[in-house]
Amino acid sequence: MNPIPGPIILLALPLIAAAVAYLLRRLTLLAALISTLTTGLLAALCWRLPLDRSSFVLGQEVGFGRPIVVLGQTLMLDPAGQMWLVFVFGLVAFFYLFAWRMSQGRSFFSFSLVVVALYVLVVLLQSFALATLILAISATLLVFVLQAGQPSLIRGAQRYLVITLLAVPLLLLASWFVDQSAVYFQDIEGLAGGSSAMAEVLSQAMARRALLPAALGFGLLLAAFPFGTWMPAVAAEAPPMVSAFVFTVGQSMALYLAMSFLGRVPSLLQDSTTLIVIQLAGLVMAAAGGVMAAVQRDFGRLFGYAALSDLGILLLALGSGGSQGLRLALLHGINRSVSITLVAAALAVLRHRATTDRFEALRGMGRHLPVATAGLVLGGLALAGFPFTAGFGTHWAVRLATWNWVQPFSPQAEGSVPPAMGIVPLQEWLWVLTLVALIASSLGIVVGLLRGLGAMQGDGARPDVARQPIIASLLVLGLAAFSLVLGLYPQLFLEPVSEAVRMFSLF
């Protein structure tokens, strides 16, 4: 008997679980249990099963790395995709576990499982154009989960949908340029007298045309400045765990797509213009998110802007270049996922009990819901890169890398700008602006948190608000402890991240 191909398991299990979870959507315990077990099992399979040989699972022979062909498309799991899916399934399993106690909308389990199956398809597909279209299709389904049936509240979901769909034409165009560069190479090489070197140069020139549409397309998908306005809107309106789903798993899939694209044109990632654009976009996002977080009047938007600012830090890590930059970006991606999940879990408890997250209505909540308050503060501080929290290690490394990047532009180092860095706009002010932006990105979030915390103080008893939920609070405490462990041991995930970077083979 032939071994069962891995792609079939990875696609079929979430879809079957989605159907069952939909039928059982009124029985939250069962729906959550099925969703958590399915994604947890898939995370374990992705973590344990080898791709190069068959193995036995519950007496069945499974060929996890065995490709299948569906409608002319080859679906195959590669090592980088396998690592990525461990992260996706593992994180989603926690979301489902938490949603058992704090409802995130009845459609959350079933629809998000379908979305996860589509993410698996993005990883399995060999065609970048099709992967882009599948990611956009998943965004149309996410709209239903983001909106969660709340009357009138559509702004966040609508903006997310519009931004994601606008990225599709740009990315398809970029993909087409890259495909054409290969055709171009063969055509020129095939010409009489056409040399390989000339074909290579002309083909790379063709591939460089993909840079602008790719930068705009991935900028839209990754909510880069100025396309990130949907993040605070989503955080303000959508159930917190759904927001966390989009900010962590959803954006990680956009990042995966970006890596796949760069894997096809590695020269783009070594291009100084690309790196400068990524660095500047990240810097503006980090600063703008931090400043906006400081002036919010509710925890939802504060969460959205803090996540946006932290995403800017991730882009700064990516833009610091080379395999070290990618390693730092992926490590930061894991740390920020923990921080975002912690804030979302605490926010879910707060909204569930207090029915609002507006500062003005939270008087006395700090004392009434201490675990949720502590989770909000700790998660927020982690997003700001505060010492002893999950975000500190990578924030510090990114800040050092960014500072080293702008050092040549400072007055002390006049005339020592390496030619490879080219001409940067406003370069005489760059080091000052960078310093201000890096400080603002953290300080803004801390100020926003202090304002929220101040509003939650007060001795007034709140008989209208139920006591804090036990299981949800324990989950928040567990996440908070994990965040502190990551703060003390930031290298905890360094080995799998280094392995993932090696598997992407971009450098």
Partner 1 sequence: MEAFAEAFSFMTGLPAIVGIILTAATIFLTSDWRLSLTALLVQYVLLGLTLSRFVQPELAIVRVLVGILAVPILYLTARRLQDARNSRQPEQGEVRFLGLPMGWGAGPLGLPLRLLAVLLVALAFIRFFPNYEALLSGLVVAGPSLPSDVTVISFWMVSMGLAGLVLSGDALRVAPALLTVLSGFEVVYAGLQTDLAVVGFIGTLTLLAALAFSYLAAVQGLGPATAPADEEATEP
Q: What does the binding site for partner 1 look like in residue numbers (CB under 8 A)?
A: 71-73, 127, 129-130, 133-134, 136-137, 140-141, 143-144, 147, 149-155, 157-158, 161-162, 165-166, 168-169, 172-173, 176-177, 180, 183-184, 187, 206, 209, 233, 297, 301
Q: How far is the CB of 30 from partner 1 (least distance, A)?
A: 26
State how far the Cα of 241 lies from the Cα of 322, in Å rounded to an integer.
Answer: 33
Q: Which two tokens stand for residue 236?
A: 């303000």
Q: How far is the CB of 382 from partner 1 (least distance, A)?
A: 26
Residue with Cβ nearer partner 1 (75 or 381)? 75
State how far the Cα of 497 lies from the Cα of 135, in Å rounded to an integer.
Answer: 23
Residue with Cβ nearer partner 1 (299 or 392)? 299
State how far the Cα of 349 lies from the Cα of 155, in Å rounded to an integer.
Answer: 23
Q: How far is the CB of 426 from partner 1 (least distance, A)?
A: 26
Q: Which two tokens stand for residue 276?
A: 């400068």
Q: How far is the CB of 299 from partner 1 (least distance, A)?
A: 14
- C-beta of residue 465 within 8 angstroms of C-beta of residue 315: no
Provide the 10 A C-beta neighbour count for residue 196.
10
Residue with Cβ nearer partner 1 (186 or 404)? 186
- C-beta of residue 321 within 8 angstroms of C-beta of residue 275: yes
Residue with Cβ nearer partner 1 (209 or 462)? 209
Residue with Cβ nearer partner 1 (296 or 389)? 296
Residue with Cβ nearer partner 1 (118 or 500)? 118
- C-beta of residue 123 within 8 angstroms of C-beta of residue 81: yes
Q: How far is the CB of 317 from partner 1 (least distance, A)?
A: 30
Residue with Cβ nearer partner 1 (101 or 301)? 301
Q: Is the peptide bond before 3 cis (omega within 30 degrees of 0)?
A: no
Q: How far is the CB of 158 from partner 1 (least distance, A)?
A: 5
Residue with Cβ nearer partner 1 (297 or 451)? 297
Q: How far is the CB of 327 from partner 1 (least distance, A)?
A: 33
Question: Which residues, in sequence order, are bridge partners of residue 75?
Answer: 68, 125
| Closest among 413, 405, 406, 399 to 431, alpha carbons compared | 406
State how far the Cα of 359 lies from the Cα of 357, in Å rounded to an integer.
Answer: 6
Q: How far is the CB of 15 from partner 1 (least distance, A)?
A: 16
- C-beta of residue 214 within 8 angstroms of C-beta of residue 174: yes
| Residue 239: CA count within 13 A, CB half-sphere | 27
Residue with Cβ nearer partner 1 (4 or 68)? 68
Residue with Cβ nearer partner 1 (162 or 426)? 162
- C-beta of residue 46 within 8 angstroms of C-beta of residue 86: yes
* β-strand pairing of 55-57 with 68-70: unpaired
Residue with Cβ nearer partner 1 (149 or 460)? 149
State how far the Cα of 448 lies from the Cα of 279, in Å rounded to an integer.
Answer: 25
Question: Which residues, in sequence order, are bridge partners of residue 4?
Answer: 62
Residue with Cβ nearer partner 1 (34 or 210)? 210
Q: What dihedral do alpha carbons 137, 143, 144, 149 form, nearest 10°?
A: -170
Write down how long the chain is: 507
Residue with Cβ nearer partner 1 (295 or 439)? 295
Sign of CA dihedral 219, 224, 226, 232: positive
Q: How far is the CB of 375 from partner 1 (least distance, A)?
A: 25
* β-strand pairing of 60-63 with 4-5: parallel
Q: Which two tokens stand for residue 354?
A: 């207090």
Q: How far is the CB of 496 from partner 1 (least distance, A)?
A: 32
Q: How far is the CB of 345 from partner 1 (least distance, A)?
A: 25
State how far the Cα of 161 lies from the Cα of 158, in Å rounded to an integer.
Answer: 5
Q: What is the DSSP letter of 298?
A: B
Residue 125, helix vs strand vs coil: strand
Q: How far is the CB of 238 from partner 1 (least distance, A)?
A: 13
Sign of CA dihedral 25, 30, 32, 34: negative
Q: How far is the CB of 306 from partner 1 (least distance, A)?
A: 17
Q: What is the DSSP letter of 73?
A: E
Question: Which residues, in sequence order, are bridge partners of residue 125?
Answer: 75
